[in-house]
Amino acid sequence: MSIKRIKREDVVLTAIDFQEKLLPAMFEADKTEAAAIKLAAGLDVMGIPKLVTTQYEKGLGKTVAPVAEALGEFQPIDKNTFSAWANKEYRDALKRTERKTVIIMGIETHICVEQTALDLLENGFTVFVPADCVQSRNPANRELSLRRMEEAGVVVTCGESILYELLGSSGAAEFKAVSAIIK
């Protein structure tokens, strides 16, 4: 098994469906939202590109304001597919980044996150899923999905681990800003 590491110059964040009518229905939504905000804000400080999806925004709402604020500037990609990869606009946007490592955070773990992760793996991407930044309505579904994704080759980790791996050392220019976000 090869070790998979995250490198700044090759990583992009995909934030899946943190929407007004979806997020409140998730198990421990407040904890997931808080973790996602820290990860998104930290990645934004480091200038990591991001792709943000919504699932049928007209019916399920926009990205919730606290997550949207942490993400910084983005243009949402509305989809009706469960896998973001199955959406041409997402695929094209991801290809334009010219990056091959994708961090996926979002909801629901066992539906849109999982299908996106599996499709990305099949298409040659390295995928990291921070377990604290994904959620489902039923926690058992989340756990089964995390196990399935890991067995398929996804690196399951946590948001804080990703941020500190990208920083590399306390000498990184963004260290103080990211540390303040984490606390």
pLDDT the model gives residue 3: 82
β-pairing verdict for 77-79 and 11-16: unpaired
Residue 109 lies in a domain: yes
The two tokens of residue 128 are: 């990291």
Q: Are 36 and 159 in contact (CB under 8 A)?
A: yes
Exposed, middle or buried: residue 29 (CB in 10 Å: 0-12, 13-18, 19+)? middle
Q: How far is Cα 41 from Cα 43, in angstroms, rounded to an integer? A: 5
Residue 158 covered by a domain: yes
Q: What is the pLDDT of residue 2?
A: 75
Q: Is residue 163 part of a domain?
A: yes
Q: Full-prediction pTM beyond 0.85? A: yes
The predicted structure's pLDDT at residue 66: 98
Task: Give a yes or no: residue 1 inside a domain.
Answer: no
Over the chain (183 residues), the average pLDDT of each successive run of 10 is 87 98 97 98 98 96 97 96 98 98 98 98 98 98 98 98 97 97 93
CATH of the domain at 159: 3.40.50.850
User: In the prediction, which pLDDT does 1 show?
Assistant: 58
When the pLDDT of each residue in the chain is averaged and rounded to a whole number, the result is 97
pLDDT at 19: 97
Q: Which residues contact 96 (CB under 8 A, 6 or more apart)?
A: none
Structural domain for 43, as ranges: 8-182
Does residue 2 lie in a domain region?
Answer: no
Number of domains, the chain? 1
CB atoms inside a 10 Å sphere around CB 124: 7
Helices 29-45 and 175-182 cross at an angle (nearest 10°) of 170
